[in-house]
Every structure is written in structure tokens, then in C-alpha cells.
Amino acid sequence: MKQPLTDLGAFIRQQRERSAMSLRKLAEAAGISNPYLSQIERGLRKPSAEILKSIARALSIRAESLYERAGLLEGVGEIVTVKDAIESDTALTPSQKQALMQIYVSFISDNDEEEV
């Protein structure tokens, strides 16, 4: 069984790679140093909730997904909207999320026009 910090670090690395970001670029966007981010990704450091929030913002993912993996939350409940589901889906890149969101919004506006 893997240690939670290793899982968290591997998850952050996976999300960084999906976003096509270098370690340096993510560190800069999150406002932390390259060595510190590298240590987080390797499971050597346990980042604070504030650092996790900064990393999540830089990766365009929900902070709660990192909090859960870090053991700070036991579960965030069910996702209630399509928009929340798109934003929280860690398998999507930021550009894919944006495209899906645009498609979803166009479907909703089409439905509103049909009901009139």
C-alpha cells in the first residue's frame, strides 16, 4: 500500500503533465519554489492546505481533490451540477474543461430557447 503523501505527489505530477506544464512553470504559477514542488511530487514534503490550494488553482482543478488525497478531507459529497463535474474531473486538461463547458452552456441555452 502506498503512503498517502506519495499518492498526493504522484497525483500532482500526473495533473501537471496532463496540463503540459513543466515543474518550473507550475511552481511559478503556484508561488512556490521548484525544489519544494519537486519534494511534494516525490512525497518528501507534506504541503499545507494553503499550498495545496495554490497548486490546485495553478492546475485548474478543485482544491478539494488535493485535500482528500492529502488526508485533510474524508469526502466532499456528491457533485450536484454538470459544471462542478467538469471542473472537478482530473482526467481533463484545462482546455478540454473549457471546451466541454462551452458545449454544455450552448446545450442549456438551446434548451431555454426551445421552451419559449
Q: Domain locations in the chain? A: 4-69, 82-115
Does domain 4-69 fall into CATH 1.10.260.40? yes
How far apart, in whole angstroms, are the C-alpha atoms of residue 72 and residue 54? 15
Average pLDDT per 10 consecutive residues for the chain, totaling 116 residues = 66 93 97 96 93 95 88 63 82 91 89 62
Q: How distant is the alpha carbon of residue 1 from its chain centre?
A: 23
DSSP 8-state secondary structure symbol assigned to residue 18: H
pLDDT at residue number 87: 83
HSE on the CB side for 39, CA within 13 Å? 10
- Whether the full predicted model's pTM is greater than 0.85, yes or no, is no
